[in-house]
């Protein structure tokens, strides 16, 4: 591409000052163009990614927001119905149940899904031998497709002679109905979810643990600190940020629980495992009411947006540190 | 045009993202309203059996070839599969919905209310077979103004499916299946007493199938599910008849221990149990029998179907075909010609029986290949043909056919899927909670069902 020469542009101005001042400006233009040229491939690739995001992520979100206020039959033009879809949701007795169940799942999942991987990571970090084997073993369930995990656990939870009841029996505990009782179904689902997803979280914790300078532990040991004191005074403070970020990410992920209740309980028994996404799915694909389903997803988006905002704020605070 | 396309693409993307399906599937619609080459009308149709069902697929494809030969101006493009509510709207939004599409009896009311089917009233005026169809089945495809939007092609009534081999083993007479609920309970106790994980009676309680079965129970006890007063529908099942059904289920489950430990079952679960010879009875339609025989390598001799016990009533279900609301008049005409010829034409019943005989398929079951949709002469001729050509023990299903003549056939309620979802909960309560409060379960379900019925248009 021909670049602008210093003698060309100013000639028409007739000003004698120009040639003197011009070179820096021309230089800047050339440099920025070169920069653009250098990054052209990157911009091209980014543009492609942006187009894909716009088409398959952002546009559906915008369309979903519009659908929340519309009635659609995919034949006639959409009808604007104001807040009717939201009113319908609020009138559905299952709506409140679904939110309460989701919050219950999230709360139990945080206790289990937060603590178990952290403890596992600490144990893995303390290992002296066979580290690779145990890391792979912990990560393996992540590689199973979620539906396979759900089917596998359905078999484990089989009432009566199932593996889970055999395990309880071996330590002298009474049998449980697991998925077949409204008092145990939700916890049973959380156990599955925790088992299936803890591998990834454990590895992140492990990575965070390994960034802790060894001298801190050495000093603590010299001061006579045991495993629990080292954990409390060194490990937890040093991994505080990672713990917080994962906590928030886990809230966002667990509030979108769907596969486990869909495959394993269908929302039962007695609606005890109907979650927000499961109800949303029913509205969309059983009742074919896409307006109400979109309204529900908008409400979930707002709820999750609060946690996502917290996450962003936290990461910004960290980068400012 | 461009705006329409953009909107259509946008909606499809929105729907496909929700479904997790790829938006790329929107490319290339076969359902174009342009006539195909040579002045032919091309119609896309659903209902082609999957290639895994080799015999059914072979018969279907042969029918397509024969129809095209008889109607050189029509090109039938068959698509595998039946009704999938999960993809219905996405296909409609993306212009991918077939011109002639399959529906269960649960769906036409909603589809009509949402104007997602073509009005075929004027097109079927001269169709002779209409007069031979059971009027109640045609009503399923009518709106409140009497306009018709589809045609029924098969019908079933729920009955009591039972394992004759287990009946014999438990000392019961397989030729006199239970006709009252007390007899069902006694038979279930005897069968479960065989031990080894044998279950006397099983029922469904998951993914709307529990609700579907509770509706069947309600009809069997002489109750209704919903009633209409003027324009308004309300729930009509919170009564002593349904409570009696639930009391019976509760006793079989918890007092007799005759329903097994494992609950939250679906149709495939009970079929697997029955196919494995571990289940004595469940509520079902006769079309379950070929599934049990084919998938579990069973024998027709080992299964029987009795009419719904109690003598009060049963649930009628079934299937039919509707036409894409975007189809041109030529396509509607061609599509109806296909439905008539393939599924309804009384003069093809004999040919269908012969096709099945040639392929060593069962004749004599109260199910395919001759659907239970006719009245009058056609019905009588069909029954005679089936008896003459029966290759399965017809007497195993005789009590079902005899009993059904005395039972009141009830259709599925409006907004059926939402009602089934609400009633799943009641079945689950009774079958998974020993201390379930039936009154409370029914009251809660009533509130949910009234909320669903308030949406009926």
Residue A56 has what DSSP assignment? Answer: I
Asked if B389 and B353 touch (Cβ cutoff 8 Å), the reply is yes
> What's the angle, vertex CA A245, arms to CA A239 and CA A248, rounded to 5?
135
Test mutation, B212, B261, B265, B447, chain A, max A CBs within 10 A: B261
Query: ω before B372 within 30° of 0 (cis)?
Result: no
Domain extents in chain B: 5-157+317-402, 159-284+415-453
Nearest-CA distance from A64 to chain B in Å?
Answer: 7
Task: Express each pLDDT in A212-234 by its tens digit.
Answer: 888 888 898 888 888 888 888 88
- Rounded to whole angstroms, the Cα distance separating B247 from B254 reads 10
- Rounded to whole angstroms, the Cα distance separating A104 from A113 reads 13
The token duo for B130 is 């209409």
CB contact under 8 A, A56 and B17: yes
Indicate the burial class of B455 (C-beta count within 10 angstroms; 0-12, 13-18, 19 or more): middle
The pLDDT value given to residue B29: 40
The token duo for A224 is 């006579």
Q: Which residues of B touch A87 (CB under 8 A)?
A: none
The pLDDT value given to residue B37: 53
The pLDDT value given to residue A256: 92
CB contact under 8 A, A182 and B433: yes
- Rounded to whole angstroms, the Cα distance separating B121 from B126 reads 10
CB contact under 8 A, B428 and A72: no
Indicate the burial class of B382 (C-beta count within 10 angstroms; 0-12, 13-18, 19 or more): buried
Q: Which residues of B touch A160 (CB under 8 A)?
A: 261-262
Confidence of residue A33 (pLDDT cuts 50, 70, 90): confident
Minimum CA–CA partner of B451 in chain A:
A92
Q: Where are the alpha helices (DSSP H) in B221-365?
A: 240-250, 267-275, 288-295, 329-339, 349-358
Beta-bridge mates of residue B279? B199
Nearest-CA distance from A173 to chain B in Å?
Answer: 18
- What is the dihedral sign for C-alpha B242, B244, B245, B249? positive
- Rounded to whole angstroms, the Cα distance separating A106 from A95 reads 17
Minimum CA–CA partner of A271 in chain B:
B425
CB contact under 8 A, A179 and B447: no
**For B2-97, where are the E strands, in sequence order?**
41-48, 74-80
Nearest-CA distance from B266 to chain A in Å?
Answer: 10
- Rounded to whole angstroms, the Cα distance separating A188 from A260 reads 10
Lowest mean pLDDT among A54-58, A154-158, B41-45, B91-95: B91-95
Task: Express each pLDDT in A225-277 by its tens digit.
Answer: 888 888 888 888 888 888 888 888 888 889 999 999 999 999 989 899 999 99
Asked if A262 and A281 touch (Cβ cutoff 8 Å), the reply is yes
Nearest-CA distance from A187 to chain B in Å?
Answer: 16
Task: Express each pLDDT in A170-179 by its tens digit.
Answer: 999 988 989 9
pTM of the model: 0.81
Q: Which residues of A touch B433 (CB under 8 A)?
A: 181-182, 269-270
The token duo for A52 is 């894909």
Is the pLDDT reported for residue A18 higher than 90? no
Minimum CA–CA partner of B415 in chain A:
A287
CATH of domain B5-157+317-402: 3.40.190.10
- Whether domain B159-284+415-453 has CATH 3.30.390.30: the reply is no
CB nearest A160 (choices: B261, B432, B447): B261
The pLDDT value given to residue A26: 52
- Rounded to whole angstroms, the Cα distance separating A93 from A86 reads 13
Query: ω before B96 within 30° of 0 (cis)?
Result: no
Nearest-CA distance from A310 to chain B in Å?
Answer: 26
Nearest-CA distance from B431 to chain A in Å?
Answer: 9
Q: Which residues of B touch A286 (CB under 8 A)?
A: 85, 208, 417-418, 421
The pLDDT value given to residue A130: 86
Would you say the CATH fold of B159-284+415-453 matches that of B5-157+317-402? yes
Q: Which residues of B touch A267 (CB under 8 A)?
A: 424
A160 touches chain B (CB under 8 A): yes
Quote helix, strand, coil % in chain A, to nearest 5: 75, 0, 25
CA B185 to chain centre: 26
Tens of pLDDT along chain B (457 residues) come to: 343 333 443 443 344 344 333 333 333 344 445 555 567 899 999 999 999 889 889 999 999 999 999 999 999 999 998 888 788 888 888 889 999 999 999 899 889 988 999 999 999 998 999 999 999 899 999 998 999 999 999 989 999 999 999 999 999 999 999 999 999 999 999 999 999 999 999 999 998 999 999 999 999 999 999 999 888 999 999 999 999 999 999 999 999 999 998 999 999 999 999 999 999 999 999 999 999 998 898 999 999 999 999 999 999 999 999 999 999 999 999 999 999 999 999 999 999 999 999 988 889 888 766 678 888 888 888 888 888 999 989 899 988 988 888 899 898 898 898 899 999 999 999 999 999 999 999 999 999 999 889 887 7
- Rounded to whole angstroms, the Cα distance separating B218 from B210 reads 12
Count interface pairs A-B at CB distance under 8 A.
Answer: 123
Mean pLDDT calculated for residue range A104-120? 90
**For helices A185-210 and A131-139, angle between their N-to-C axes, nearest 10 degrees:** 140
CB contact under 8 A, B11 and A74: yes
Q: Which residues of A touch B19 (CB under 8 A)?
A: 285
Minimum CA–CA partner of A73 in chain B:
B114
The pLDDT value given to residue A20: 47
Minimum CA–CA partner of A84 in chain B:
B455
A192 touches chain B (CB under 8 A): no
The secondary element (H helix, E strand) that includes residue A204 is helix A185-210
Asked if B362 and B267 touch (Cβ cutoff 8 Å), the reply is no
Residues 6+ apart with CB under 8 A from A138: A120, A124, A198, A199, A202, A203
The token duo for A110 is 């945080």
- Rounded to whole angstroms, the Cα distance separating A257 from A268 reads 15
Write the Ramachandran bin of B310: left for phi over 0, alpha for psi from -120 to 50, otherwise beta: left
- Higher pLDDT: B246 or A126? It is B246
Lowest mean pLDDT among A196-205, A306-315, B219-228: A306-315
Nearest-CA distance from B187 to chain A in Å?
Answer: 23
Test mutation, B85, B425, B431, chain A, max A CBs within 10 A: B425
- Rounded to whole angstroms, the Cα distance separating B220 from B242 reads 9
- A303-306 LR contacts (CB < 8 Å, sep 24+): A303/A255, A304/A252, A304/A255, A304/A256
CB contact under 8 A, B116 and A266: no
Q: Which residues of B touch A72 (CB under 8 A)?
A: 11
What 3-state DSSP class applies to B163? Answer: strand
Nearest-CA distance from B29 to chain A in Å?
Answer: 16
Percentage of chain A beyond pLDDT 70 is 90
């Amino acid at each position: 591409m021909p670049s602008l020469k210093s003698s060309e542009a100013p000639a028409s101005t007739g000003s004698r000052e120009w040639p003197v001042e011009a070179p820096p400006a021309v230089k800047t233009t050339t440099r920025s163009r070169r920069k653009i040229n250098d990054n052209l491939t990157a911009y091209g690739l980014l543009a492609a990614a942006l187009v894909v995001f716009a088409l398959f992520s952002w546009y559906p979100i915008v369309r979903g927001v519009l659908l929340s206020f519309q009635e659609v039959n995919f034949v006639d033009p959409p009808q604007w119905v104001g807040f009717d879809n939201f009113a319908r949701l609020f009138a559905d007795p299952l709506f409140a149940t679904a939110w309460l169940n989701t919050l219950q799942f999230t709360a139990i999942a945080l206790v289990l899904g937060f603590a178990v991987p952290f403890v596992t990571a600490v144990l893995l970090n303390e290992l002296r031998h066979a580290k690779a084997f145990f890391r792979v073993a912990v990560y393996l369930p992540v590689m199973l497709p979620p539906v396979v995990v759900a089917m596998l656990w359905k078999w484990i939870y089989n009432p009566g002679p199932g593996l889970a009841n055999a395990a309880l029996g071996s330590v002298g505990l009474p049998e449980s109905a697991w998925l077949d009782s409204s008092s145990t179904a939700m916890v049973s689902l959380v156990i599955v979810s925790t088992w299936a997803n803890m591998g990834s979280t454990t590895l992140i914790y492990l990575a965070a643990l390994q960034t802790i300078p060894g001298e801190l532990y050495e000093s603590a040991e010299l001061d006579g600190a045991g495993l629990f004191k080292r954990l409390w005074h060194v490990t937890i403070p040093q991994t505080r940020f990672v713990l917080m970020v994962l906590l928030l990410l886990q809230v966002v992920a667990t509030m979108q629980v769907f596969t486990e209740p869909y495959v394993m309980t269908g929302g039962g028994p007695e609606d005890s495992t109907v979650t927000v996404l499961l109800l949303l799915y029913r509205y969309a694909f059983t009742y074919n009411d896409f307006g109400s389903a979109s309204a529900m997803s908008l409400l979930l988006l707002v709820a999750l947006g609060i946690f996502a905002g917290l996450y962003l704020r936290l990461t910004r605070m960290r980068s400012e540190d | 045009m461009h705006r329409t396309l953009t909107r259509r693409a946008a909606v499809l993307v929105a729907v496909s993202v929700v479904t997790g399906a790829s938006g790329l599937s929107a490319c290339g619609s076969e359902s174009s309203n342009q006539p195909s080459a040579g002045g032919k009308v091309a119609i896309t149709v659903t209902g082609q059996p999957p290639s895994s069902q080799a015999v059914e697929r072979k018969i279907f494809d042969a029918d397509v070839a024969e129809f095209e030969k008889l109607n050189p101006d029509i090109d039938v493009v068959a698509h595998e599969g039946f009704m999938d509510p999960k993809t219905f709207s996405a296909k409609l939004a993306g212009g991918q919905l077939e011109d002639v599409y399959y529906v269960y009896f649960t769906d036409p009311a909603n589809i009509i209310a949402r104007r997602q089917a073509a009005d075929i009233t004027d097109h079927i005026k001269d169709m002779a077979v209409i007069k031979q169809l059971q009027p109640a089945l045609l009503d399923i495809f009518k709106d409140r103004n009497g306009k018709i939007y589809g045609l029924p092609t098969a019908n079933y009534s729920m009955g009591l499916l039972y394992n004759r081999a287990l009946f014999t083993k438990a000392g019961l007479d397989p030729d006199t299946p239970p006709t009252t609920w007390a007899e069902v309970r006694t038979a279930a106790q005897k069968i479960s007493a065989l031990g080894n994980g044998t279950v006397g009676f099983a029922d469904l309680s998951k993914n709307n199938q529990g609700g579907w079965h509770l509706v069947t129970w309600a009809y069997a006890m002489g109750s209704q599910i919903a009633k209409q007063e003027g324009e308004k529908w309300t729930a009509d099942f919170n009564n002593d008849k349904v409570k009696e059904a639930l009391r019976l289920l509760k006793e079989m489950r918890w007092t007799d221990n005759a329903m097994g430990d494992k609950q939250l079952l679906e149709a495939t679960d009970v079929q697997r149990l029955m196919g494995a010879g571990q289940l004595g009875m469940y509520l079902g339609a006769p079309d379950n029998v070929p599934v049990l025989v084919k998938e579990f390598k069973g024998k027709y001799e080992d299964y029987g179907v009795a009419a719904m016990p109690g003598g009060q009533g049963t649930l009628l279900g079934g299937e039919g075909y509707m036409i894409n609301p975007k189809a041109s008049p030529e396509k509607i005409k061609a599509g109806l010609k296909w439905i008539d010829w393939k599924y309804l034409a009384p003069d093809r019943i004999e040919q269908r029986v012969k096709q099945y005989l040639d392929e060593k398929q069962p004749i004599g079951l109260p199910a395919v290949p001759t659907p239970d949709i006719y009245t009058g002469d056609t019905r009588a001729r069909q029954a005679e043909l089936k008896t003459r050509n029966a290759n399965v023990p017809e007497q195993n299903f005789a009590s079902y056919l005899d009993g059904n003549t005395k039972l009141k056939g009830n259709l599925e309620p409006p907004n059926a899927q939402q009602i089934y979802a609400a009633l799943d909960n009641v079945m689950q309560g009774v079958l998974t909670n020993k201390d379930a409060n039936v009154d409370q379960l029914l009251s809660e379900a009533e509130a949910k069902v009234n909320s669903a019925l308030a949406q009926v248009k």
